[in-house]
A and B are shown apart, each in its own frame.
Chain A
């Protein structure tokens, strides 16, 4: 099924749209959450929504591939990553409050601005293309918000979560494309898994070195030679 603007009002399409929107909402929530556990929970909810969107598309497109992707998403991103993140948070004693480097209102304004930007970019694509503009706009917004989170947050764990939500945006776009081969999906998932492990090791190294996960400690390394 290739959604076109005419498909508004059709339940299949509206439901998919609703799920994508929810993913974006969780991206906004990630941007302004203060506490680390809340951030992890929000990420979990986002990943679960992505899985739900995946299952929905599998149902609509009658595609077994997407169904498999959904299961992978659910297991890895919905259950695996959050569990690992919670463990890391507990092990590194970073569970307390996450310092905002930005404040609620500025980060929300930034988020809105990025979403607007995504819309403006996507508006150039003619309606009825392979990927609907709405899906593309949403996934681009999720991606940009994830990047914004990576740049505005000061803690390594929240930055990683930003990275993971960028990946969520990518898979959102991938799900929307009918006939996306499962190989691509799986390889992306695998890459993310590797990245995640690297991040995990990285955390413990930083933690062992500086007794904190705040990234501004790393600035000292680059400044050291002077």
Chain B
């Protein structure tokens, strides 16, 4: 099955090149690329569904003595799902859009495919960096130049730091040569293993949005065009997680120490809380969604950490449950987040802004989009019966059956982690309600918003498809778990066979079960019954001015009433800001209330900042600028000195080689 995937990879690159030469074909080419991604999705599903045997491929070009090694196994096939799904949906939504960076989108997807299929460190790195660079260029190519450059600079710095850490991780953990098979045979021990873990958490973690390097996501992801944002949040973060899983579960051997999972668990739970908290204070829809990505990546990472701990404690069934939960959440989040970013694109297109304090009332103008956004938001907020709830249920189940692991400190850690994740869950719900409430409900807050229109038919079909997928997979999460089963067997030595079916997911340890379909049927039946009764005995419905506790009618020149009296994005989380925003984000509110008789508007403003950006990212940025200044010096050298430097570099490298020869 790897050959067709290789063909798709090549075709993606080809499409990108073609589009850059013949831009007039963009629309056709993007439709084609979407079709290519759909084919790739089908291949991955078939591979997983029929449990086909893993396949490897060696290409005789690339680094000498190594070549390019590709492999398709359960894990990489599973992670192809979000990549292709997000890619297909994003390209379909972008098919008529004019994007100056258009040709880069297929290259971006190709980079993700290559990272997932890679079977040696070099290829993985090439794929990862292709993905990084393409998405960086896409960020730069879009929107207001100053903002794009600012976001691009931050993103590039983080990408470079991540890339260096990733290279370092590979070098520390496994040395220079060899493909994954060779690496697997010699897993790192002791300090090397610890170094691998630390560097991976920086390298892959910064790309995925794990704390403490998560601060850039809500700035850089929104800067790209909506379909690309969708792919960055929906697919690229998952590729970073894939790298984490590939290294920590697979390449680093099957018996690492118990504490290996702890950093991942703690960072993940912290990310869940911090991301969800930040999502409640951002005012740009895309920034809210990117913050929510941090939260979801945190949930996945915590579950992965738990799975590692359980595997080290020789509890394969618990490890399988936690890993299964993580994989289910990977797919569920990818679908829901892609949907929400694309919906944001449609809103941006229709209403001309993504700022929630200028939107509102879109439910009247864009009913289908609104309905789909409700589904996506419900899934991201982990409400039953959406797919988000199924995976979060599994995460919590594995977390609360876990406390009998390891030492007493570890045992005490579990309730604290559950606490952080639960806080994150509650905050995710409020962030999503705030998002849909401020954007789609209420009254339009700007005249331009009142003139919005529904998106075109084909795009709304896509939205409906993704929304239905969120619901259907939520009703029968067993389908996804079945696709994850080969991976589970491969990585933790047990799978979830017999624990999921059409009706329920069951835990082996406690016998608790999540009966999605029956409960959803019950819920639906009650809902349908109520609707039917209402149909049979229709009530007299009268329309009138909003009651609004008897406040005076708006004046004639305000047909929508004074829309600024509505609770908006900022005011909806004002109580949360006062109690949570103050310690976390130094949230400060200022209100100006003019004296009676004074002519001037009352004003309400909020300032906050993410301390991570100020205390962690800022030093990195300063170092970058310092290094850039130093690098400038080299450019000003005379020709003779430049040549001299090159010779010197050559000599130094040769000396290193000579020394290495000596030592062997």
Contact = CB atoms under 8 A, between A and B. Distances in A.
A201 interface: no
Nearest to B579: A105
Nearest to A105: B583
Interface string A114-132: 0010011001000000000
Interface in A98-139: 116, 119-120, 123
A178 B408 CA distance: 29
Interface string B403-446: 00000110010000000000000000000000000000000000
A116 B411 CA distance: 11
A203 to B, nearest CB: 36
B258 to A, nearest CB: 18
Nearest to B412: A116
Contacts of B408: 119-120, 123
A120 B407 CA distance: 11
Contacts of B409: 120
Contacts of A123: 408
A107 to B, nearest CB: 15
Interface residues of A, number: 4
Interface residue tally on B, bucketed by range: under 10
B77 to A, nearest CB: 44
The B interface is mostly helix, strand or loop, or mixed, namely helix
Interface in A114-171: 116, 119-120, 123
A83 B412 CA distance: 41
Interface string A173-187: 000000000000000
Nearest to B408: A123
Interface string B126-149: 000000000000000000000000
Interface in B36-55: none
A120 B412 CA distance: 10
Nearest to A123: B408
A119 B409 CA distance: 10
Interface in B376-428: 408-409, 412
Nearest to B583: A105
A41 B412 CA distance: 32
A123 B407 CA distance: 11
A116 B409 CA distance: 9
A24 B409 CA distance: 21
A9 to B, nearest CB: 20
A123 B408 CA distance: 8
A155 to B, nearest CB: 26
A113 to B, nearest CB: 11
Contacts of A119: 408
Contacts of B412: 116
B410 to A, nearest CB: 12
A123 B411 CA distance: 13
B476 to A, nearest CB: 41
Nearest to A112: B416
Contacts of A116: 412
A124 to B, nearest CB: 10
A214 B409 CA distance: 39
A132 to B, nearest CB: 17
A85 to B, nearest CB: 33
Contacts of A120: 408-409
A97 to B, nearest CB: 21
Nearest to B409: A120
A120 B408 CA distance: 8
A116 B408 CA distance: 10
Nearest to A116: B412
A120 B409 CA distance: 8
A172 B412 CA distance: 25
A84 B408 CA distance: 43
Nearest to A120: B408
A94 B408 CA distance: 44
B583 to A, nearest CB: 9
B406 to A, nearest CB: 13
Interface of A: 116, 119-120, 123
5 contacts: A116-B412, A119-B408, A120-B408, A120-B409, A123-B408
List of 4 A-B pairs having minimum Cβ-Cβ separation, nearest first: A123-B408, A116-B412, A120-B408, A120-B409
